[in-house]
């Protein structure tokens, strides 16, 4: 814990008491958690910030592609409220960044958003009665819903067992919250991992859940603007929680001629596009703009309106790849599914 964390520690104690009391109310049954007939798989984390939830949800979509799937997210940063089932007129502004990414990428699923997941799920089952699996995105702390499978993610570089509760650290609740997990996945792992150390530390808080390790695999850059082929002289930009791994990868594979990073969930404006265009043109040797898939979906309206003045713009698709425990992870997910007759 750094010096600022020590100064904020009294507030951390208050936050800890509040979250512990809230969890006690649910664990004791005083506050009710609702179960549903459909399979509900929750993906979440103990900390704030990115731990790779969206790539994990996408992995589950591919794994369960034989099922009728609906993703359900809060829809962080959207301009709408309440339950909403994504349709052709929706955008990142109406349903949020990650939900729109799912909607734009997977045509064989339905995508829904709703702040109160326990309220949204009955709406889903009423409007889409053939739903077999509901994937809850970022729902580990959403106690009103009791999932059939609870998957906890933790970042290799910022594991929950080394972190502290807000505001001294980044944890939304005590490390002991990990005991609710049915599976624990260590994400964003480097090539060399001390599996034994991480497993031993995690087992201090959960002695039953299978543990798996994943890394992010960057795919071939794909074009979203311009007709030119990809050129490795790139100007990199993004609006994600932690751009460091992205920058490290791009720097190792291409020549980084320029860079600019926005805050997580940044909502792009015309001024941003103008700034990026000017920065690209002023950089030394940059031949194309490169960004993330998460940013790409928010740039599509600008692309359609003819922005970027013909500058080639590419994005890097990513996928979750298991380094250890992948087979057991798949088996646990598939074995958790109950038959759903409709």
Q: pLDDT tens digits for 94-114?
A: 999 999 999 999 999 999 999
Q: Which residue has the tokens 């045509």?
A: 107
Which residues lie closer than 8 Å to 277 by C-beta, 6 or more apart? Answer: 307, 308, 309, 311
H helix intervals, 28-153:
53-63, 92-95, 97-105, 117-127
Residues 108, 65 contacting (CB under 8 angstroms): yes
State residue 2's pLDDT score.
Answer: 74
State residue 339's pLDDT score.
Answer: 67
State residue 78's pLDDT score.
Answer: 92
Mean pLDDT for the stretch of residues 177-203: 97
**Is omega for the bond preceding 167 within 30 degrees of 0, making it cis?**
yes
Residue 342 has pLDDT above 50, yes or no: no
Tell me the whole-structure pTM to 2 decimals.
Answer: 0.91
Of the chain, the percentage scoring pLDDT greater than 70 comes to: 99
Spatial separation of the C-alpha atoms in residues 163 and 161, rounded to whole Å: 6
């Amino acid at each position: 814990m750094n010096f600022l964390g020590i100064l904020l520690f009294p507030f951390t104690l208050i936050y800890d008491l509040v979250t512990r009391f809230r969890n006690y109310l649910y664990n004791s049954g005083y506050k009710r958690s609702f179960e549903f007939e459909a399979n509900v798989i929750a993906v979440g984390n103990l900390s704030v910030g990115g731990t790779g939830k969206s790539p994990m949800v996408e992995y589950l979509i591919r794994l369960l592609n034989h099922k009728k799937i609906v993703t359900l997210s809060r829809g962080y940063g959207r301009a709408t409220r309440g339950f909403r089932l994504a349709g052709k007129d929706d955008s990142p502004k109406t349903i949020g960044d990650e939900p729109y990414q799912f909607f734009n990428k997977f045509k064989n699923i339905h995508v829904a958003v709703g702040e109160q997941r326990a309220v949204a799920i009955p709406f889903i089952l009423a409007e889409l009665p053939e739903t077999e699996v509901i994937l809850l995105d970022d729902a580990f702390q959403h106690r009103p819903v009791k999932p059939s499978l609870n998957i906890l993610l933790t970042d290799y570089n910022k594991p929950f067992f080394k972190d502290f509760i807000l505001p001294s650290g980044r944890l939304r609740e005590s490390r002991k919250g990990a005991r609710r997990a049915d599976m624990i996945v260590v994400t964003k792992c480097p090539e060399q991992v001390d599996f034994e150390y991480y497993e031993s530390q995690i087992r201090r808080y959960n002695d039953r859940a299978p543990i798996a390790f994943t890394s992010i695999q960057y795919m071939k850059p794909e074009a979203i603007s311009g007709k030119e082929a990809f050129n490795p002289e790139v100007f990199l930009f993004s609006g994600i929680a932690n751009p460091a791994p992205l920058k490290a990868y791009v720097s190792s594979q291409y020549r980084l001629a320029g860079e600019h990073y926005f805050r997580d969930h940044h909502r792009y404006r015309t001024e941003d596009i103008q700034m990026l265009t000017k920065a690209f043109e002023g950089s030394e040797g940059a031949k194309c703009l490169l960004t993330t898939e998460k940013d790409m979906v928010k740039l599509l309206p600008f692309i359609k309106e003819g922005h970027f003045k013909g500058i080639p713009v590419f994005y890097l698709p990513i996928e979750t790849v298991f380094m250890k425990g992948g087979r057991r992870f798949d088996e646990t997910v598939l074995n958790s599914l109950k038959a759903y007759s409709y």
